[in-house]
Structure 1
Amino acid sequence: MTSGQSGPYGDPGEQGQGGPPQGWNPPPSQPPYGQPPQGQPPYGQPPYGQPSQGQPPYGEQYPGYAPAPSAPTGYGAPTPMERPTTVRVGIGALVASLVLGLIQSIVTFSDMEGLIEQSMLESTDAAITEDLVRTGIVIGVVITLIILGLQALFIWFAWQGRNWARIVIWVLGGLSVLFGLLGLGAGTGQSTGFLTSLGWFSLILTAVGIVALALKPSNEWYRYRGWQRANGQG
């Protein structure tokens, strides 16, 4: 090639032999095969902050799927119960027995002289005096009033659903019925007969109350009341 000829890209004297033409910019450098250009996410992944194809945005449910049901409030709680008839009947019978016991004590005090005379006639022991009989009757009446007061307290707690009060009533009521059956039947006077009748009615009502509080509806209600107190609802 002579000096008068130019190269393929122009005058070699001006642009250099074999060099690129003037004004031509080379393309940007390409990344290795299989890697995305700089600043772009890998192939198949969405740009940052945008959900991928087929996935809902963050915090939203998949279409066609309902949210998972939550557990119902109060799961495991027993069915609410009203005070059953057996408890009402049992407590009512015990209250009636308590009233009869109170009347019996009042009648005993009002007929003190008749009781003393009756006791002296039936006694065969010369050592028993009138004062001794009087003292014994007074002590018996006082003890009876204390027992009646305690029974009223236990009946109130049993009405509120306290199972321990029901157990106490079973014990005291059972003993009252047992010893009442053994002790009643003495006396022939009008006043003594009246007291004996009150005693029998009182024992019958006590037995009815004990049985009613031991029936199945009563047991379920006392168990429910215990659950309420354990969970701060009663």
Structure 2
Amino acid sequence: MTTGTTPTADRPAPPRPVDISRWLWIGSAVLGTVRFLLQLTDSDVLIDELRRQQPNLGQDEIDAALNASVTFSLLAGIVLVLVYTSLANRMARGRNWARIVLAVLGGAGVLFGLTRLVAVGTGLAAAFGFAVDPRDLVLGLVTMSLDCAAIVLMFLPSAAGHFRRAAVGQRAATPGS
């Protein structure tokens, strides 16, 4: 007679580095969304940009466009957090494909962040008229640090067995394999 346990109840807990990595990914996504929303709070810059791009818009149209962009950005941020949370949870359950996707996304984010830091540090950003808020740079550095730490933790030797066990378990659970 079965006890009513589900296959997930029999699954071993992920190693500590993998579990920490999961929370770093989720934290990074939340912080990235907060960073993005902070950029949107500077409505004067957004309004000036809208007026520059479309000088024929009236104030009501500018306000509507600003509200629409903030709403869309908030929804996009929520989707981003949900996607990263889903990937991080799958990675913690031993799904190697989720680990690879997170590594690629995190690596691209770190590369983009480093490029941005170099552009600010060398004065290229200012030369092209990009103003950079110091709060944004600090949040970007923190996000990059979280991503780097999460990537390293996922690929530690102590984590490798977790992904191998999950792959073997998936093959054994698949009929006809």
Q: Letter of the aligned partner of 2:19 in structure 1?
A: R
Give the structure-2-normalised TM-score: 0.65
Answer 1 or 2: which has greater helix percent.
Answer: 2
**Correspondences of 1:47-66 after superposition (within 5 Å):** none
Unaligned runs of 5+ in 1: 1-79, 121-127
Among all aligned residue pairs of Structure 1 and Structure 2, give the percentage whose two residues are the same amino acid: 25
Q: Letter of the aligned partner of 2:152 in structure 1?
A: V
- Larger Cα Rg: Structure 1 or Structure 2? 1
Q: Partners in 1 of 2:103 and 2:75 — Cα distance?
A: 20
Count of residues in Structure 1 that have an aligned counterpart in Structure 2: 141
Is 1:151 paired with 2:92? no
Q: After superposition, what is the alpha-carbon deviation per residue over 1:40-96, rounded to whole angstroms, capped at 9, x for unaligned?
A: xxxxxxxxxxxxxxxxxxxxxxxxxxxxxxxxxxxxxxxx95411110121121111
User: Which residue of the partner structure matches residue 103 of structure 1?
Assistant: 34
* C-alpha displacement of 1:114: 3.5
Q: Partners in 2 of 1:159 and 1:131 — Cα distance?
A: 47
Is 1:197 paired with 2:138? yes
Could you say if the C-alpha distance between residues 153 and 81 of structure 1 is closer, same or farther in structure 2, counting changes exceeding 3 Å?
closer
Q: After superposition, what is the alpha-carbon deviation per residue over 1:79-121, rounded to whole angstroms, capped at 9, x for unaligned?
A: x95411110121121111111111112212222324565x79x
Give the structure-1-normalised TM-score: 0.50
User: Which residue of the partner structure matches residue 171 of structure 2?
Assistant: 230
**Correspondences of 1:1-234 after superposition (within 5 Å):** 82-114=13-45, 129-131=52-54, 138=69, 141=73, 145=77, 147-184=80-117, 185=120, 192-232=133-173
Larger RCO (CA under 8 A, 6+ residues apart): 2
Could you say if the C-alpha distance between residues 150 and 82 of structure 1 is closer, same or farther in structure 2, counting changes exceeding 3 Å?
closer
Q: Tell me the C-alpha RMSD between the 2 structures.
A: 3.3
> SS of 1:129's equivalent?
helix
Contact 1:116–1:130 (CA<8 Å) still a contact in 2?
A: no
Unaligned runs of 5+ in 2: 1-10, 56-61
